[in-house]
Amino acid sequence: MALRSFPIFLNLSIFKRSFKNTSLIRKYSTTSNAIKLSFTQFDPPKLNESHESCPLIILHGLFGSKKNWRSLAKAFTQRLNTRVFTLDLRNHGESPHSEVHNYEVMAEDVVTFMNDHQLKRTVVMGHSMGGKVAMTIALMQVPQIDQLVVVDSAPTNTSISKEFTTYVEVMKKVEQTGVMKQSQADEMMKGYISDINIRQFLLTNLKKDPETEVYKFRIPLDVLGNSLKTLNGFPFDSDRHTFHKSTLFVAGVKSNYIPPKIHPTIKTFFPNSVIVELDTGHWVHSEKPLDFATIVTDFLKKDL
């Protein structure tokens, strides 16, 4: 059977019944605001099309990029015998920038990607900010999603994280200084961010201007800084929006992004969900990649 796309506007009746905010209805009635996302496609060494799993789409977190998932993406192609797409969300990596940065427009970008690549059935996995984007797509009732994986993120409103505000402020200080070496940027950041792993993560966004040789961050710091309050929210309520397909939540117990008190809320939004905990911080997939890959693979394979 030939693949066909599912344009967002075909589901407009669902949004009209569900969304309290009419501006959201108007926003999802067109894909004109969607951004064409940069991506990398990973194919298994010997794709057996007759036994291929649903393609997997991976969405990174705030200040991350598709490159953060390269090793795990390669692993999943072999473990699941499927194509894996790692995406740069808007205002991140190599994707275009926009003044608008919220979960609704990021979800629209991803659905447009699905349609453009004629992905009739998919699994969507997201970490942190990417996890909320993934949940937003699922709760939009986008028909392409067969399964959902959410990594250390929850469908709740949270307070603005002081750490993320600090990250933006420090990166701005680095830019204002006009550093000529990445080591200089790291030295500056060390006074504000003690964790070398977080500094190295943020510094993946630092790029040298070929003309001036001055290092600049490739992400729009003002836009992302101004969006932090929005990103700590969640644009749905469980009375009106649920996703009943198979869903996995992977929590880092040291990060407190998915504490036990949040579990009932998750079950309300996602009745057919399981929650698995790993002894990690917020970057679950990078702290224990082998354990993480096994948990996700076992979960996705059980419904094959």
Where in the chain are the domains? Answer: 39-158+233-302, 162-226
Task: With cut-offs at 50, 70 and 90, classify the pLDDT of residue 17.
Answer: very low
Average pLDDT, the chain: 87
Active site residue 282: yes
Contact 36, 59 (CB under 8 A): no
d(CA 139, CA 109): 15
Query: What residues does 151 pair with on adjacent strands?
Result: 127, 250
* pLDDT of 26 strictly over 70: no
Task: With cut-offs at 50, 70 and 90, classify the pLDDT of residue 263.
Answer: very high
Across 259-265, average pLDDT = 94
Which pLDDT does position 97 carry in this prediction?
Answer: 97
- Active-site choice (222, 237, 279, 303): 222
- CA 7: distance to chain centroid? 21
The token duo for 272 is: 């057919």
- Active-site choice (53, 65, 95, 128): 128
Contact 293, 72 (CB under 8 A): yes
Which pLDDT does position 237 carry in this prediction?
Answer: 85
Q: 198-208: per-residue pLDDT in tens?
A: 999 999 999 99
Greater confidence (27 vs 230) lies with 230
Which pLDDT does position 46 carry in this prediction?
Answer: 77
Task: With cut-offs at 50, 70 and 90, classify the pLDDT of residue 45.
Answer: confident
* pLDDT of 164 strictly over 70: yes
Which pLDDT does position 51 carry in this prediction?
Answer: 62
Task: With cut-offs at 50, 70 and 90, classify the pLDDT of residue 256.
Answer: confident
Active site residue 286: no
Which pLDDT does position 47 carry in this prediction?
Answer: 67
DSSP 229: H
65 Cβ contact list (under 8 Å, min separation 6): 88, 92, 93, 94, 204, 205
- Active-site choice (101, 127, 282, 285): 282
Polymer length in residues for the chain: 304
Q: 48-57: per-residue pLDDT in tens?
A: 666 667 999 9
d(CA 48, CA 72): 20
Active site residue 128: yes
Across 82-99, average pLDDT = 97
Which residue type occupies 76? F
pTM for this structure?
A: 0.87
Which pLDDT does position 160 carry in this prediction?
Answer: 63
Which pLDDT does position 6 carry in this prediction?
Answer: 30
- 3-state SS of the chain: helix, strand, coil percent to 5? 45, 15, 45
d(CA 239, CA 105): 22
* pLDDT of 212 strictly over 50: yes
Strand 84-87 versus strand 39-42 pairing type: antiparallel
Across 263-285, average pLDDT = 96
* pLDDT of 151 strictly over 70: yes
Question: Domain 39-158+233-302, what architecture?
Answer: 3-Layer(aba) Sandwich (3.40)
